[in-house]
Amino acid sequence: MMSPDELATLSFKVGDMVVLNPEFCTPDGNVYEVIELPKGARGVSYRVKNVSTGSVTRGRAICFMPANETDKAIVKTVPFKEHLVAGDVVRTVGSRWGKALGDLYVVLGSKNDDSWKIAKLGGDDGRYYNNIPRDMIEKVDVKDVLR
């Protein structure tokens, strides 16, 4: 348990490994890396990235505490997903996709590497789908499709 004096002086720098502080948050067993410090004189939120999944979140310094060596040792590895660019052909995968699995789509773009904008290959009355998570699509080799 951290004393009020320790909480008042708590600060992190970019690259520090942290975990959620059980006094203020429900621990999730993940390790986070500080990627951005609070901005400006009134800034209080740190941006942290989950080292296992790459998802980004933010919180005040009191929500985090330094990760110990045991926490750092249990960092999970995530399988590499090939980067997508506009024009890539992808296939839908995963049970969360509400349409027919395995249909082919073309990548229209993304705001970040976590969510993508796709449209059905061959058209679907001008429809497209926004914010499709990367784990719901897989890149397809066009040579395999043409066989």
What mean pLDDT, rounded, does the chain reach?
81
Residue reference for tokens 């990235």 = 49
- CATH number for the region 4-73 comes to 2.30.30
How high is the pLDDT of residue 80? 63
Q: Read off the pLDDT of residues 27-63 as tens digits, 9 standing for 90 and up.
A: 777 889 999 888 876 777 889 988 877 788 888 888 8
User: How far, in Å, CA of 30 to CA of 48, rounded?
Assistant: 11
CATH 2.30.30.40 intervals, the chain:
89-145
Residues 6+ apart with CB under 8 A from 54: 78, 113, 114
Q: Which of 52, 51, 53 lies closest to 35 in space, CA to CA? A: 51
Beta-bridge mates of residue 46: 59
Q: List, as one string, the DSSP characters of 17-44.
A: EEEE-TTTS---S--EEEEEPPPSTT--
Q: Which of 53, 67, 70 lies closest to 12 in space, CA to CA? A: 67
CATH superfamily of 89-145: SH3 Domains (2.30.30.40)
Q: pTM of the predicted model, to two decimals?
A: 0.47
CA 81 to chain centre: 12
Distances (CA, A) of 68 to 6, 31, 71, 73, 125: 17, 10, 5, 9, 54
